[in-house]
């Protein structure tokens, strides 16, 4: 073999390695969570702190308080097998969610090591009433214990970010990128490597399009994990994820289809289109209910093949939260079916003030519980199906027109759940 041919063969081998071997390495299944990763938990947190500080530099950032902090507490409490604060028992843990007041667009992110940030604009959009064509930013709802529908929307956003943490997406990605860096002799060994150098070298050596597909997969997995997190909290609904995606699309329309996000970052770490993510939620609701609960493209609710409501409760298109209430109910019915909880004695009505601190005595909550009259503090409330602007037990002649309408809505949902209970019993 001529000596001049050797460089050409070496170049060809390197090109083949980049085009075929590296993508194959990136596509390998990740190790189970129980197995060790190339980065330690301490290194993950250090790298996350670096990214977090870079992302919020110069911004008005503060620790979440009030309703947002309570939402994080609730998600962790009801998903303690996957989520936890620092407790001296777990090497990995979530930090308190931070609120960034500076960005003008809605968003949230999870930095490595459990550092999550939600933008104030995202909170505002998630808590406003939903209109036919735009978000009413001057109609924000509170985030108190009784405002569980607005809390459920924000929980859907946070649960997605916590899904990235629980799925160990950063650690798994680091494993791949660092392995590539080692293979290309960019670094001596993982044990002597600074985390950022490893990831930079690995990403440079890898195939960018493959990395993008990896990110797409991670986002889809985080969406799926978030639905489980939501379903494990009695007052949070899987259907709320649909609401948050709809809200973001309306925000984009209000800005001419643009936002102020970093285009380079979104190219490397992309999300599926909102329509695709919404359909995944609809499919998940259908799957967990064994095909009994479906939402069509307009989010009209069908249970056991029968159209229950049009668009919103009683097809009331004038309601500010019509669609939101319908998808919330769909998720809660599906979650109740999954647990086989439509049983005699499990449906009950509670005054909102008995259900949650700060609730109103003139509002009624329909819940699924194992004994009527007990609170969740006794561990009995499994699912909240809805709240209604009707004072429980009040005579019709004393009701306002709006309260009579709310009572009719309540009766419609009550009749639906009684029918489901009868079918389950049969």
pLDDT 10s per residue in the chain (426 long)?
Answer: 445 555 555 555 554 454 444 454 444 444 334 457 878 889 889 988 998 999 999 999 999 999 999 999 999 999 999 999 998 888 899 999 999 999 888 899 999 999 999 999 999 889 887 654 445 555 677 888 888 889 999 999 999 999 999 999 888 887 776 655 545 444 444 444 455 555 555 545 444 444 555 677 888 999 999 999 999 999 999 999 999 998 888 887 777 765 544 444 444 455 668 889 999 999 999 999 999 999 999 888 999 888 876 544 544 444 556 788 889 999 999 999 998 888 777 888 889 888 888 888 999 999 988 754 444 444 478 899 988 888 988 998 999 988 888 888 888 888 888 788 766 655
- Report yes or no on whether pTM surpasses 0.85: no
Residues 6+ apart with CB under 8 A from 152: 230, 235, 236, 237, 240, 328
The pLDDT of residue 60:
97
The pLDDT of residue 260:
47
What is the C-alpha R_g of the chain? 25
Strand ranges for 101-229 from DSSP E:
108-111, 115-119, 128-130, 135-140
Q: Do residues 130 and 316 lie in contact, with contact meaning Cβ atoms separated by under 8 Å?
A: no
**Residue bearing tokens 């998720």:** 331
Longest dimension (CA), the chain: 103
CA distance readout (Å), 390 to 11, 12, 147, 214, 354: 76, 75, 16, 49, 14
Stated length of the chain: 426
Q: Do residues 118 and 64 lie in contact, with contact meaning Cβ atoms separated by under 8 Å?
A: yes
The pLDDT of residue 320:
53
The pLDDT of residue 21:
45
Number of helical (H) and strand (E) elements in the chain, helices listed first: 15, 12
Strand partners, 307: 302
The pLDDT of residue 195:
53
């Amino acid at each position: 073999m001529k000596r001049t041919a050797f460089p050409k063969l070496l170049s060809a081998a390197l090109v083949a390695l980049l085009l075929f071997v590296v993508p194959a390495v990136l596509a390998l299944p990740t190790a189970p969570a129980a197995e060790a990763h190339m980065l330690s938990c301490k290194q993950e947190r250090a790298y996350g702190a670096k990214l977090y500080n870079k992302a919020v530099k110069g911004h008005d950032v503060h620790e979440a308080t009030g309703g947002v902090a309570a939402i994080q507490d609730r998600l962790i409490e009801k998903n303690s097998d996957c989520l936890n604060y620092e407790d001296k028992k777990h090497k990995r843990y979530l930090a308190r969610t931070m609120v960034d007041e500076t960005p003008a667009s809605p968003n949230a992110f999870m930095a490595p090591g459990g550092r999550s940030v939600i933008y104030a604009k995202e909170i505002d959009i998630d808590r406003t009433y939903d209109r036919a064509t735009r978000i009413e930013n001057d109609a924000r709802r509170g985030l108190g214990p009784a405002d569980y529908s607005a809390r459920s929307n924000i929980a859907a956003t946070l649960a997605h970010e916590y899904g990235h943490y629980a799925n160990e997406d950063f650690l798994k990605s680091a494993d791949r990128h660092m392995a590539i860096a080692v293979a290309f002799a960019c670094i001596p060994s993982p044990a002597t490597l600074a985390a950022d150098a490893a990831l930079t070298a690995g990403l440079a050596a890898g195939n960018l399009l493959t990395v993008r597909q990896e990110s797409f997969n991670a986002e889809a997995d985080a969406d799926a994990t978030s639905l489980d997190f939501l379903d494990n909290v009695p007052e949070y609904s899987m259907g709320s994820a649909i609401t948050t995606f709809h809200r973001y699309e309306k925000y984009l329309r209000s800005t001419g289809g643009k936002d102020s996000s970093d285009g380079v970052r979104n190219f490397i770490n992309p999300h599926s289109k909102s329509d695709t993510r919404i359909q995944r939620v609809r499919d998940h609701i259908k799957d967990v209910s064994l095909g009994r609960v479906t939402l069509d493209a307009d989010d009209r609710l069908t249970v056991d093949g029968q159209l229950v409501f049009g668009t919103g409760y009683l097809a009331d298109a004038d309601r500010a939260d019509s669609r939101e209430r319908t998808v919330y109910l769909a998720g809660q019915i599906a979650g109740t079916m999954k647990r086989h909880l439509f049983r005699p004695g499990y449906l009950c009505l509670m005054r909102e003030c008995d259900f949650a601190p700060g609730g109103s005595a003139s509002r009624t909550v329909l819940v699924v519980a194992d004994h009527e009259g007990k609170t969740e503090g006794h561990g009995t409330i499994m699912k909240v199906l809805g709240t209604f602007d009707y004072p429980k037990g009040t005579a019709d002649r004393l009701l306002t027109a709006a309260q009579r309408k709310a009572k009719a809505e309540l009766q419609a949902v009550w009749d639906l759940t009684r029918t489901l209970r009868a079918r389950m019993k049969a």
